[in-house]
Chain A
Amino acid sequence: MKKLAVTIDDLLFKWGDGTPCLTIPKFQLYHGEKVFIKGPSGSGKSTLLNILGGVLAPEHGDIKVLGHDYALMKMSQLDKFRADHIGFIFQQFNLLPFLSLLENVCLPCRFSSTRRARAIDEFGSVEQGAEALLKRLGLMDKHLYQQNAAALSVGQQQRVSAARAILGSPEIIIADEPTSALDVDARDQFLALLLSQCELSGSTLIFVSHDSALEHHFSQKLRLTPSSNGGYSL
């Protein structure tokens, strides 16, 4: 029997000014699934990912991730939970420009002992894990690893971000338009690598984008649509 990774019930999110932004009557995601959530710009995709990350709290509704009920958790518990179990990839400028590639990839394992332990378990050490993942994601040149992230092309940067999100095998990977700054070739190549790595580590992937051209990579697709209350709903 497949286990549920994420469930959302009857969720309503409002910003401070009170206008409803996002409603999600029901959303379920099983372990290892990969879902593509499409919505136009401003439809609340990033907001949704922040809610799933426990950074933003909804007006009402239940959010359960890996069996943890967000409503029952304190800020600090949410912080720890997110660090241990969720890897993030964002649109652009994802890396700290003053750290080397390797240091950037290793960052989550510095803040989460759970992810560090898993990386060591799998690769022997965090650094070895980082190198292995960078290689799998197509960054073969070892000289690059010690270089500052700022020296890379956007396409290379996104691969580093992906390696960072995957290292330490978090159960869930959340990607917020990671390909929007890439050209078409780089985009498809990146997506293929990301999907295969998620497959390999068994991670659940939640991928949001406004770009329909990416849809065909995913079996499961959802769409944010305008709702009657002025916001969007899933």
Chain B
Amino acid sequence: MTLFHLTWKSFLNRKATLLMMLLSISMSVVLLLGVDIIRQQAKEGFSSTVSSTDLIVGARSGQINLLLYSVFHIGNATNNITWKSYENISQDANVKWSIPLSLGDSHRGFRVLGTSSAYFEHYRYGAKQPLAFSQGRGFEGLFDVVIGAEVAKKLGYNLGSPVVIAHGMGSASLMKHDDKPFNVVGILKPTGTPVDNTLIVSLEAIEAIHVDWQSGVQLPGSKVTAEQVLKMKLKPKQITAFMLGLNSRLSTFHLQRKINQYRNEPLMAILPGLALQELWGMFSFVEKTLFAISGLVVVSGVLGLLALLLSSLNERRREMAILRSVGARPIHILTLLILESLLVTLLSVLLGIGVLYLVMLYASPLIQDQFGVRLAVQGLSLWQWQLVGMVVAAGSLAGLVPGYRAYRNSLADGMSIKL
């Protein structure tokens, strides 16, 4: 029978109170690790909002601005870029594929993206996942529209639902391209990215709904009907931005420089990965706040343990005195209390990790279903193990205080305890 055995038996003897402590600390561990795992995966997810794309090109502005409107469909481009520039650059020998992006119209608060079929072929998100259809197919006809999963869910659209596109943003927009309604031909699977909130049409369609418009207003008296438009040869003159995939990553910086120095108009090329990182960095205070809160929860858990151990010392004076009388030295008493808090925190941490993984296993499919975000159930990272280590260390250190008190008590009490 070792000191550990003694600790264990004594622990079992007071299991009701210690169990409560165990639960409280394990919940704080769940919170601490849970917040960190969500933070880590949110960051990973965020930084792979768009993947496989080497460069994003738009009118010259800030890199965050370009990223926001081209990938997140937030805000507007300061300027459009000409179709000519797009054709020029996408024919560069280094370019493997290109996706033109034309933004500016909306449908009931959701952005409409004009693009080419290259979008469905080359656009990647997350771990290089391509877009997939839950129903239907990509656009073929001029008035075909593909909608994101969120759009379909929120607006209750199915294949064949009619869609009227409004000019500009804002769901109450008066100016609607209602003379040229679209039909839903495809619904995308959830991606957990801004694609879910987007309606996708062809560039020609964007061109078509604007043929009789100029400077943002419909020209009076020169209405072109949908039938007429179908017969027209439409060629886009302007787009908002485009994405490039390169043959070799090595040429990224070379091409970026070339685009930035493009003569015919002021262009800017950004590396989406870097821009995403910069954007994430702007939210780091959220990360830090969450971490601080979960850290404080752990601290309060450990303080609770400290308080419990200290308050139990008085009732345990007899236990200590008996141990002293059978030959335990003060150092044994100290060890006993530290072992006890170590035991409580270790068990708490194990329980916490167990609960966390149960929750993740259970919640992962639900989250995937609801939000399209994959919550990867994976092992703890080195940093997370370090967090766990810190909790255990803090818990054992908390045992030092009552341990020292018990040590002093047992020196003063000796073996005789007043009844």
Contacts and interface: CB of A to CB of B under 8 A. Distances in A.
Chains A and B are bound partners: yes
Nearest to B8: A98
A90 B415 contact: yes
Nearest to A94: B322
A92 B419 contact: yes
A115 B326 CA distance: 11
Contact of A96 (B319, B332, B416): B319
Given A93-B318, A94-B322, A96-B322, A83 B416 contact: no
A94 B6 CA distance: 16
B324 A110 contact: no
Interface in A173-191: 176
Contact of A98 (B10, B327, B416): B10
A176 B9 CA distance: 27
B9 A98 contact: yes
A111 B318 contact: no
Contact of A53 (B1, B13, B323, B414): B414
Contact of A90 (B323, B328, B416): B416
Interface string B310-326: 00000000110011111
A171 to B, nearest CB: 14
Interface stretch (A24-32, A100-108, A194-202, A224-232): A100-108
B419 A112 contact: no
A61 B12 CA distance: 45
Contacts of B324: 55
B326 A91 contact: no
Given A53-B414, A97-B13, A98-B13, A88 B419 contact: no
A11 interface: no
A95 B416 contact: no
B13 A88 contact: no
B1 A110 contact: yes
Nearest to A16: B412
A39 to B, nearest CB: 14
A151 to B, nearest CB: 13
A95 B326 CA distance: 10
A126 B1 CA distance: 11
Given A94-B322, A96-B319, A98-B13, A76 B415 contact: no
Nearest to A114: B327
A56 interface: yes
A46 B325 CA distance: 13
Contacts of B414: 50, 53, 55-56
Contacts of A93: 318, 322, 419
A47 B414 CA distance: 10
B328 A111 contact: yes
B177 interface: no
A55 B415 contact: yes
Contact of A46 (B319, B326, B416): B416
Interface string A97-131: 11100010011101110010000000000000000
Interface residues of A, number: 34
Contact of A111 (B10, B13, B319, B332): B332
A103 B326 CA distance: 12
A164 interface: yes
Nearest to A80: B329
A82 interface: yes
Nearest to B413: A55
A49 interface: yes
Interface in B321-343: 322-330, 332
A79 interface: yes
A46 B10 CA distance: 27
Interface in B1-54: 1-2, 6, 9-10, 12-13
A111 B326 contact: yes
A108 B327 contact: yes
Nearest to A45: B416
A78 B273 CA distance: 69
Given A55-B414, A56-B414, A108 B326 contact: yes
A97 B416 CA distance: 17
B419 A91 contact: yes
Contacts of A96: 6, 9-10, 319, 322-323
Contacts of A49: 415-416
B9 A99 contact: yes
Nearest to A126: B1
A88 B12 contact: no
Interface in A36-55: 46-47, 49-50, 53, 55
B12 A98 contact: yes
Contacts of A97: 13
Nearest to A46: B416
A107 B6 CA distance: 10
Contact of A164 (B13, B326, B332): B326
Given A50-B416, A53-B414, A97-B13, A88 B318 contact: no
A23 B377 CA distance: 73
16 contacts: A53-B414, A76-B329, A79-B327, A84-B327, A90-B325, A90-B416, A92-B419, A96-B6, A96-B10, A96-B322, A107-B326, A107-B327, A108-B327, A111-B326, A111-B327, A111-B332
Given A107-B323, A111-B332, 15 more contacts: A47-B416, A53-B414, A55-B324, A90-B415, A93-B322, A93-B419, A98-B9, A98-B10, A98-B13, A99-B6, A106-B1, A108-B326, A111-B327, A111-B329, A112-B327
